[in-house]
Structure 1
């Protein structure tokens, strides 16, 4: 089932038209959350991020868009879909309901909730071979707009085609200053010299809840120093580990980048801490 503005419809329903702001202009956001047996993991952080992103895009937030309201809509959709006892990925789309364009003052937001069952209630670490390379045909623009969870992802779409055509599991994206930003699938972390480094938000990486949680876990563990700093492509081959965080799957270690093979011990250690944090969130 899909929940669109409170109305539950079948997955196969036609519910958008050419006048819809998302279809016509890519003018929307999507917040992806994990739900385990009706419990939304890290819900407060997801909700606050969604509200902040809506304000940046100058959407008018309805008075009923409270944290409790959206959580109840999530649960209603899960219940009607018969997924109460499952682990679920829910995508919450928000976009202007009746807007003729950016100049239209009527930007009252509406929402759509889409569900996908997960095979496991836990964040996972896949041990399969995972080779990546740089994608340099197009670049992410450094700055705040690139950090938002917008529905527009043309660069990632064509980057994914490039990866498939060249036999890569994923590709590393660069910004217009030629710094490493993230991969097609998630945020990137580099491990080396007792330090874990990840690109800063100012470089244009996705400012999502899982990135925030992993940074917090590293800070609390005190085993490694965490640094948010610009990463040059030349630093990648000097790392001991590269790993990627993604809300749907968990943590994915990079096994090979060009001629360099990487370990995965730190990524697996962080995964255990992440699952514990999710359990008690």
Structure 2
């Protein structure tokens, strides 16, 4: 794999960080995971805006939008990819990598967790590199996704996804007041279809007809089961939403 470090292309195996780097020592960095199609990053402007917001919160310097786009394109070409999973990590420097997209899952099984997300944290709604808690919960669960509440017991988000629910043919999603990440794909879905933002408690999940997960890589996918309970196959609402979402 060839990566970009501050615009310089190097072999991934040769990349090194200074031992004093804040991302390495304290997780003081932000990142974006981006889907690439036909050699171009999807929804780049939206990803950049969120990255810039997160960087400002942590006091990090961010390169110009067009400079970053050029670096991304060069990494994609260097790795001879057209469709790719891009990872842009910003700390004391900027690291960009590109690799093949993960395989699509035929079924998606999720579980719920009692481990809350702190919606009052100053880092709430920032995609920070301090991601160990989410990865631990996901790995220990053995599921494809873990749905977490906030400290008030409201449905917040998954470890790697935003959430949508369908009940009586109405589409809902946790509001930003719950502390959920303002996902780029969440934003794109809400730009194209009617969605109601709500503050539901975790017990409300049992009354949902459908549950969808959204993120930049897998876009929008229906959930097969939650806590072992098989859900109905996604309705036409999901296929209509996918048809309208620009990726």
Gap regions ≥5 residues in structure 1? 98-109, 220-225
Aligned to 1:26: 27
1:174 aligned to 2:172?
A: no
Query: Cα deviation per residue 1:66-123 (whole Å; 9 max; x = unaligned)?
Result: 211111111111122222xx2112111111x2xxxxxxxxxxxx21101112278xxx
Equivalents in 1 of 2:136, 2:102: separation in Å?
A: 27
Aligned to 1:59: 60
One of 81, 90, 94 as aligned partner of 1:94: 90
Aligned to 2:241: 270
CA RMSD of aligned residues (A): 1.9
Aligned to 2:36: 35
Aligned to 1:3: 4
SS of structure 2 residue aligned to 1:32: strand
Alpha-carbon offset, residue 259 of structure 1: 6.0
- 8 Å CA contact 2:112–2:227 kept in 1: the answer is no
Equivalents in 1 of 2:11, 2:227: separation in Å?
A: 45
Alpha-carbon offset, residue 18 of structure 1: 2.4
Deviates more, 1:237-246 or 1:138-147: 138-147
Higher Cα radius of gyration: 1
Equivalents in 1 of 2:228, 2:4: separation in Å?
A: 47
Alpha-carbon offset, residue 229 of structure 1: 1.4
Aligned to 1:76: 74
1:12 aligned to 2:10?
A: no
1:156 aligned to 2:127?
A: no
1:257 aligned to 2:226?
A: yes
Alpha-carbon offset, residue 267 of structure 1: 2.3
Equivalents in 2 of 1:150, 1:23: separation in Å?
A: 13
Alpha-carbon offset, residue 237 of structure 1: 0.8
- 8 Å CA contact 1:139–1:173 kept in 2: the answer is yes
User: Closer, same or farther in 2 for the Cα pair 1:72/1:14, shift >3 Å?
Assistant: closer
One of 187, 197, 213 as aligned partner of 1:212: 187
Aligned to 1:140: 117
Gap regions ≥5 residues in structure 2? none
User: Closer, same or farther in 2 for the Cα pair 1:169/1:44, shift >3 Å?
Assistant: closer
One of 90, 98, 115 as aligned partner of 2:98: 115
How many residue pairs are counted as aligned between the two chains? 243
- 8 Å CA contact 1:87–1:119 kept in 2: the answer is no
Equivalents in 1 of 2:99, 2:179: separation in Å?
A: 28
Equivalents in 2 of 1:210, 1:53: separation in Å?
A: 17
Equivalents in 2 of 1:172, 1:151: separation in Å?
A: 20
Report the TM-score, using the length of structure 1 for normalisation.
0.80
SS of structure 1 residue aligned to 2:12: coil
Q: Where does structure 1 differ by over 6 angstroms across 4 or more consecutive aligned residues?
A: none
